[in-house]
């Protein structure tokens, strides 16, 4: 009987040492869609979420959709009233029979006129003239194009000219063009020009009475069979090598989409309609702040000098940032990770970036921002600078046990219809109750009782193989904790600097967190139900 009990106990302990969890399969992202073009994508312009894609990182010739990037750079660098003189090279360094607005060498038009000719008429001479006006030569302008594309996150592209005419070194991908289109959609001047249904060019050498031009994109013309309700603009393209290319901007019910077709075969409009319909029918764009009201997982990772935040009253998620979710979403599918690695380009007052995922698919992000706190909300504590100088703050040995997690930490895991975050250790320094799914190695770090002697004593009789396995596990844990301690020291210093810059002291931060959590508990349920009921009808 004793042998049986010992065997059972050993098995139980082994199962605890090497836990496994049975999790429900993650809900599937809608994918009931297909297109005929070689490459295509539909992206949520507000969040950057790829709703659907086909060969999105494969390089193709873009043809005249290149002019979206050309126009964006010109608008960013020029006044619209500047005057542009057309050179011989601008007019005649184009392929025979390519699109033109009938402009000739010596013609002088405003930047505004040239942009309308570029986007509506797809005039290649206008592309060349604008490029020379901005950078001196088309080759120098191409360098600006590649720099701007890289700044938008493009990685599959290289641009060699401002027009998109055939060149073996001129190519892009569906994903990169969606990023470029997303930037263009955010530019009011670009969209004003691009969505225009007609424009009168001034008198020129070849156009003695001026010239009225119309957009080539048929989906914004109500008298065309390709018309699409909600289409805002875009750009067409075609060469024998590129095939049909098309970028389209569309908006419905507060959702803004960018669709791109590359190497199409006369199905570019139907493929675009298919992708836009799929996006609008199956997805929602919603403010992240309306869903994510829990920040309990920052408890262990935001401790400053032993003073732990206890609520979130003076913190908020950036209300302007959104996420993209399926309309039939189960919110337990949404997880998030917190990162403190911010740059100068991030909003002022931000102390962390929160990235959201749908089963590892990025669906948007927001920022955790420090807001102003009134004097009656908090008790004024010592300044952050004095805390930083305290031995308790700078001695790495005193940091042990104050922070857990990595620089990117899981922020939320939902259960049922609302987000539920993992329970942290209590703020008084006492360990939180352990759930049935608590990893024993995590439990040891929370309670401060590794339990290794008892484990070694019980496992010794199970054989040398288990002992070796256990020793390897212990070595791994020791190495991991050492690395985590080093990371915690670096993270802690960054947080001290970030809060000091924001003018927030640790005790003020504590009070912020406490007030926020109490408010979150009251609001979360009603908002989830509102979105689920109103948006999915």
Q: Which residues are catalytic?
A: 64, 67, 122
Nearest CA to 37 out of 247, 332, 257 is that of 247
| Tokens, residue 48 | 């950057």
Chain Cα centroid distance, residue 129 = 35
Q: Is 251 helix (H, G, I), strand (E, B) or coil?
A: strand
Other Cβ atoms closer than 10 A to 468: 10
Q: What is the phi/psi pair of residue 387, to 5°? A: -65, -40
Separation in Å, CA 464 to CA 312, 441, 456, 459, 472: 51, 22, 11, 9, 12
Tokens coding 441: 């190695």
Residue with tokens 């950057």: 48
Closest among 262, 44, 69 to 154, alpha carbons compared: 69
Q: Which residues pair with 257 in a beta bridge?
A: 44, 250
CA torsion 28-30-32-38 (nearest 10°) is -110
Do 38 and 262 meet the contact criterion of CB atoms below 8 Å apart? yes
**Crossing angle for the helix pair 452-459 and 464-502, nearest 10 degrees?**
160
For 5, the 3-state DSSP assignment is helix
DSSP state string for 463-477: -HHHHHHHHHHHHHH
Residues sharing a CB contact under 8 Å with residue 208, sequence separation 6 or more, in sequence order: none
Query: Which residue is it, tokens 């641009």?
Result: 159
Angle 19-22-24 (CA atoms, 0-180°, nearest 5)? 150
3-state secondary structure of 335: strand
Q: What whole-number distance in Å separates Cα of residue 429 and Cα of residue 448?
A: 11
């Amino acid at each position: 009987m004793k042998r049986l009990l010992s065997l059972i106990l050993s098995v139980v302990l082994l199962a605890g040492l090497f836990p496994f969890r049975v999790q429900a399969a993650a809900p599937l992202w809608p994918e009931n869609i297909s297109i005929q073009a070689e490459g295509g994508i539909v992206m949520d312009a507000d969040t950057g979420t790829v709703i659907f894609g086909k060969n999105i990182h494969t390089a193709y010739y873009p043809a005249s959709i290149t002019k979206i990037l050309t126009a964006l750079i010109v608008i960013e660098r020029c006044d619209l009233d500047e005057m542009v003189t057309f050179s011989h090279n601008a007019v005649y360094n184009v392929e025979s029979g390519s699109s033109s607005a009938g402009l000739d060498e010596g013609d002088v038009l405003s930047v505004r006129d040239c942009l309308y000719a570029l986007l509506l008429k797809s005039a290649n001479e206008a592309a060349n003239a604008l490029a020379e006006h901005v950078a001196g030569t088309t080759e120098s302008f191409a360098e600006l194009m590649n720099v701007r594309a890289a700044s938008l996150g493009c990685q599959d592209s290289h641009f060699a000219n401002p027009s998109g005419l055939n060149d073996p070194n001129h190519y892009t991908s569906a994903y990169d063009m969606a990023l470029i289109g997303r930037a263009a959609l955010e530019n009011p001047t670009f969209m004003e020009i691009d969505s225009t249904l007609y424009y009168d060019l001034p008198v020129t050498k070849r156009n003695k009475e001026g010239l009225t031009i119309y957009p080539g994109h048929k989906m914004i013309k109500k008298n065309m069979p390709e018309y699409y309700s909600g289409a805002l603009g875009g750009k067409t393209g075609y060469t024998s090598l590129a095939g049909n290319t098309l970028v389209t901007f569309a908006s419905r019910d507060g959702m803004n989409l960018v669709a791109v077709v590359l190497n199409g075969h006369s199905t570019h409009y139907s493929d675009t309609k298919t992708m836009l319909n799929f996006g609008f029918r199956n997805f929602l764009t919603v403010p992240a702040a309306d869903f994510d009201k829990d920040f309990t997982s920052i408890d262990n990772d935001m401790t400053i000098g032993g003073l732990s935040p206890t609520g979130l009253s003076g913190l908020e998620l950036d209300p302007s940032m959104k996420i993209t979710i399926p309309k039939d979403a189960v919110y337990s599918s949404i997880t998030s990770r917190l990162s403190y690695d911010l740059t100068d380009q991030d909003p002022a007052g931000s102390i962390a970036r929160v990235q959201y995922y749908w089963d590892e698919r990025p669906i948007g992000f927001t920022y955790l921002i420090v807001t102003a706190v009134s004097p009656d909300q908090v008790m004024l504590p010592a300044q952050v600078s004095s805390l930083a100088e305290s031995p308790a703050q700078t001695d790495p040995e005193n940091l042990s046990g104050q922070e857990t997690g990595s620089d990117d930490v899981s922020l939320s895991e939902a259960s049922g219809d609302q987000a539920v975050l993992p329970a942290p250790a209590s703020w008084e320094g006492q360990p939180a109750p352990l759930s049935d799914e608590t990893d024993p190695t995590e439990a040891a770090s929370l309670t401060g009782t590794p339990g290794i002697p008892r484990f070694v004593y019980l496992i010794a009789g199970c054989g040398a193989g288990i002992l070796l396995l256990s020793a390897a596990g212990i070595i791994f844990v020791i190495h991991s904790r050492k690395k985590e301690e080093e990371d915690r020291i670096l993270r802690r210093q960054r947080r001290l600097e970030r809060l000091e810059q924001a003018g927030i002291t640790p005790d003020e931060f504590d009070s912020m967190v406490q007030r926020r959590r109490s408010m979150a508990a009251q609001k979360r349920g009603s908002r989830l139900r509102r979105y689920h009921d109103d948006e999915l009808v």
